[in-house]
Structure 1
Amino acid sequence: MSRRLYPILNFIGHNKYWIVIILGVLIVGFLDENSLLKHARNRMLVNDLQEQIDNYNMQYERDEQKIKELRRNPKAITKIARENYFMKADDEDIFVLSDDQKPVTNNDETAK
């Protein structure tokens, strides 16, 4: 063998356990199918999905309260119809006011 390989083989011989441990951690931590990176990504995904579940449960409870209100109070149906669907009684007029900003255009024909 050449003299160049002796220091490398000597290093490997003295540190073989550390080399195996470091390679094992790298394989399990980054390259494996069940790596720590995939585990962290899945944990974040589970947290996001749990937040969505909580939001849907809150929305469900609000809707249940509205349904109970509609069953108890028949005037609540007319209130919802007026607020959400802009329905009106026969003897009234409705004016819908909008907060939308109209774009400013400079169509001043006299300045040309």
Structure 2
Amino acid sequence: MNKLSVIWSFIGRHKYWVVTVIFLLIIGVFDENSLIRRFEHRREIHALKTEIERYRQRYEEDSKMLKEITGNKDALEKVARERYLMKQENEDIFVFQKDTEKE
């Protein structure tokens, strides 16, 4: 019973500090919206924003290419030859690949 009275007297003398420490632990660590989780969510949001920006740039490039392809027959033929390895009947295609095997 002596230890319990010592604890209660400590809490009675330092009640504001005890409440402040408990509050900071709850807010900083244990709560569903803790500071740790807020930092994790902020990092995730930043990563998603960079991914959105990358897709936006890719969309703009693809839209530009689509407008060019639909308006110009030569551009359509160029894309078909480069990307899809299409050819005219009297042509041969040579595809060069880099050696990926490291020695």
Q: How high is the TM-score relative to the length of structure 2?
A: 0.86
The structure-2 alpha-carbon separation of the partners of 1:18 and 1:102, relative to structure 1 and needing over 3 Å to count, comes to: closer
Instruction: For 1:70-109, list aligned pairs within 5 A.
Output: 70-101=69-100
Amino acid at match of 1:71: T
The structure-2 alpha-carbon separation of the partners of 1:16 and 1:81, relative to structure 1 and needing over 3 Å to count, comes to: same
- What corresponds to 2:32 in structure 1? 33
Segments of structure 1 that go 5 or more residues without pairing to the other structure are 105-112
How far, CA to CA, are the matches of 1:64 and 1:34 in structure 2? 41
Correspondence 1:8 to 2:11: no
Aligned length: 103
1:40-66 Cα shifts (integer Å, max 9, x gaps)? 111111111111110110000000110
**What is the percentage of aligned positions where both structures have the same residue?**
41
- What corresponds to 1:18 in structure 2? 17
Amino acid at match of 1:76: A
The structure-2 alpha-carbon separation of the partners of 1:70 and 1:14, relative to structure 1 and needing over 3 Å to count, comes to: same
The structure-2 alpha-carbon separation of the partners of 1:87 and 1:34, relative to structure 1 and needing over 3 Å to count, comes to: same
Amino acid at match of 2:59: Y
Correspondence 1:65 to 2:95: no
The structure-2 alpha-carbon separation of the partners of 1:31 and 1:84, relative to structure 1 and needing over 3 Å to count, comes to: same
Instruction: Tell me the secondary structure at the aligned position of residue 94 of structure 2.
Output: coil
Q: Name whichever structure is richer in helix by fraction.
A: 2
Amino acid at match of 1:67: L
